[in-house]
Amino acid sequence: MTLAVPDAVTLAPPDGVVTAARVVTGSAVLEPGWISVSRGTITGIGEGGPAAGPVAGSSLDLGDATLVPGFVDIHVHGGGGAGYTEASEELALRARDAHLARGTTTSMASLVTDGPERLLAGVRMLRGLVASGAIRGIHLEGPWLSPARAGAHDRALLRAPDPGELDALLAAGELPTLQNAISMVTIAPELPGAIAAIERLVAAGVSVAVGHTDADYARVRRAIDAGATVATHLFNAMRPLHHREPGPILALLEDDRVSVELIADGTHLHPDLAAWAAGLAGADRAMLVTDAMGAAACGDGEYRLGALDVEVSDGVARVAGTETIAGSTATMDALFRGWVEHAVGAGVHRGVRHGDRGRGRGGGAAVGAALRAAVRMASVNPARAMGWGDVGDLAVGKRMDAVVLDADLGVTGVIRAAR
């Protein structure tokens, strides 16, 4: 039985074979390619037309499409006019769905700095969505951040890590399984008690990120030795590089134990700087993140991010009445597309279109290399950084989470296995 691609953006994978003109994984470009699926899990993958793959079960022929792994966003505050910071399950699901429709099949809900009780309430609400599989985990971006690098966080609510508050939050995130709903915490390592907090979180199985920090180079090295493994939006809201005191950026970029987030939206980072940093980090450590707030997938206007009012103009979110950037309005499909376009130049679409594969300016090997790099940064590396071995790539044993792209790398469909 052959299934037509439905009008709905999101669909479940069939028990059978999915074929497409191009299937891109973190390590290969298959033209054409096929993937066999059973109960939402990939059982085989290969190159060739439909006849090359297994024939049992249903088939979903995506025609002249490019199929890539579902995007994994480990730093996102909201979208679709809603946010994870509003302590509402309905609004959290609206935010998740806005990004799901644009290819993000695995989301981590990021909370911002807030008072102790509101932060606990946010964790308790989101814990249920983690347990149900709607979101993958919770990221606490604050309140343990530097006032000197607060960015779009309420300085009045920033504080040093307190063991009692830390234990209360971890208890609020407890699940029946061994996994805590809190998957990552961003900390400024120069704060009093920060190194001990990093060690406590790592012992609890929580990933620790260094961010919103004014720490010097040596202090960040101590944080990494204590177990920090992620750089929260590298360059943004942290002490800049200096030739006599390199600060956190060099410490985070040079250490192979650290994965680095990049908000490659052209607003937070110049495209060439983002590419330079990704090149230094290497193929396995650079990650695209949106850091999106509620205005993502919406338009200009007035919004809220935690305790702060935000104004969005020309697609750029700023704390109301200031020039301080307040997250982004990006979605992962736009970051993915932008990364490929920057890598291969203006001829990317000529190379991506089915009739021009392997020929023409920007086509063939250049497009393939750019697509593989973008897949690693948008899917493979974030999943690896969080230890999520069941998602992040199109490979045997992983969930069949995938994004269907047209010739211009626009999303035409999203495949997401049931949680």
Which of left, alpha, beta for 225 (phi over 0: left; psi -120 to 50: alpha)? alpha
d(CA 111, CA 412): 30
Between residues 230 and 13, the one the model is more confident about: 230
- Note the pLDDT tens digit of each residue in 209-262: 999 999 999 999 999 999 999 999 999 999 999 999 999 999 999 999 999 999
What pLDDT score does 50 carry?
A: 64
Cβ neighbours of 318 (radius 10 Å): 16
Dihedral pair phi/psi, residue 138, rounded to 5°: -115, 135
What pLDDT score does 346 carry?
A: 45
| Secondary structure string (H, E, C) spanning the chain | CEECCCCCCEECCCCEEEEECEEECCCCEECCEEEEEECCEEEEEEECCHHHCCCCCEEEECCCCEEEECEEEEEECEECCEEHHHCCHHHHHHHHHHHHCCCEEEEEEEECCCCHHHHHHHHHHHHHHHHHCCCCEEEEECCCCCHHHCCCCCHHHCCCCCHHHHHHHHHHCCCCCCCCCEEEEEECCCCCCHHHHHHHHHHCCCEEEECCECCCHHHHHHHHHHCCCEECCCCCCECCCCCCCCHHHHHHHHCCCCEEEECCCCCCCCHHHHHHHHHHHCCCCEEECCCECCCCCCCCEEEEECCEEEEEECCEEEECCCCCECCECCCHHHHHHHHHHHHHCCCHHHHHCHHHCCCCCCCCHHHHHHHHHHHHHHHHHHHHHHCCCCCCCCCCCCECCEEEECCCCCEEEEECCCC
d(CA 407, CA 419): 30
What pLDDT score does 53 carry?
A: 66
What pLDDT score does 80 carry?
A: 93
What pLDDT score does 354 carry?
A: 41
Determine what percent of the chain is predicted with pLDDT higher than 70: 92
Residue 112 exposed, middle or buried by CB count within 10 Å (0-12, 13-18, 19+):
buried
Dihedral pair phi/psi, residue 216, rounded to 5°: -85, 175
Query: Which residue from 363, 349, 370, 157 is spatially nearest to 275, judged by alpha carbons?
Result: 370
What is the arithmetic mean of pLDDT over 340-358?
59
What pLDDT score does 317 carry?
A: 82
Q: Which residues pair with 107 in a beta bridge?
A: 73
- Note the pLDDT tens digit of each residue in 295-343: 898 888 887 777 778 888 888 888 888 878 777 889 999 999 999 999 9
Name the residue type at position 280: L
- Note the pLDDT tens digit of each residue in 245-256: 999 999 999 999
What pLDDT score does 56 carry?
A: 59
Contact indicator for 392, 15 with CB cutoff of 8 Å:
no
d(CA 83, CA 160): 25
Please enumerate in sequence order all residues whose Cβ is within 8 A of that of 8, keeping only pairs 6 or more positions apart, or say none: none
Is-cis flag, bond preceding 143, omega within 30?
yes
Q: 348 falls in which pLDDT band (50, 70, 90)?
A: very low
d(CA 225, CA 282): 20
Active-site hit among 97, 114, 291, 356: 291
**Annotation: CATH topology of 2-69+334-415:** Urease, subunit C; domain 1 (2.30.40)
- Note the pLDDT tens digit of each residue in 93-122: 999 999 999 999 999 999 999 999 999 999
What pLDDT score does 307 carry?
A: 74
CATH code for the structural domain at 71-330: 3.20.20.140
> Is the predicted pLDDT of residue 347 greater than 80, yes or no?
no
> Is the predicted pLDDT of residue 58 greater than 90, yes or no?
no
| 97 catalytic per annotation | no
Q: 361 falls in which pLDDT band (50, 70, 90)?
A: very low
d(CA 215, CA 218): 8
Between residues 68 and 179, the one the model is more confident about: 68
- Note the pLDDT tens digit of each residue in 368-407: 999 999 999 999 999 999 999 999 999 999 999 999 999 9
**Rg of the Cα atoms in the chain:** 21
d(CA 26, CA 374): 8
What pLDDT score does 4 carry?
A: 41
d(CA 239, CA 278): 19
What is the arithmetic mean of pLDDT over 20-38?
96
What pLDDT score does 13 carry?
A: 86
What are the sequence ranges of the domains in the chain?
2-69+334-415, 71-330
In degrees, to the nearest 5, what angle opens at C-alpha 87 toward C-alphas 160 and 292? 75
Q: Which two tokens stand for residue 80?
A: 């679709």
> Is the predicted pLDDT of residue 6 greater than 50, yes or no?
no
> Is the predicted pLDDT of residue 365 greater than 80, yes or no?
yes
Question: Mean pLDDT of all residues in the chain?
Answer: 90
In degrees, to the nearest 5, what angle opens at C-alpha 287 toward C-alphas 280 and 240? 55
What pLDDT score does 351 carry?
A: 45
